Amino acid sequence: MSWQTILAAIGLWFVIEGIFYAAAPDTMRRMGEWLSRLPIESVRSGGIWSAILGLVLFYAAVRFF
């Protein structure tokens, strides 16, 4: 694994997120408002599980492909 791969992955993440905001800005705004109404523990738990899933996918991509 190289820094080039990590930089490419981060760049791809920004591209995908940018596409969501460009294609459906109203939906993204409503999702932000909905997220702000959730209890902080739910947001934290979702973030932790998302990070774990990301690490597993990243490990699988680097290790097996």
CB atoms within 10 A of CB 9: 14
pLDDT confidence of 1, banded at 50, 70, 90? low
pTM of the full structure: 0.69
Q: Tens digits of per-residue pLDDT, 21-57? A: 999 999 999 999 999 999 999 999 999 999 999 899 9
Distance CA 20, CA 14 (A): 10
What local confidence, expressed as pLDDT, does residue 35 receive?
95
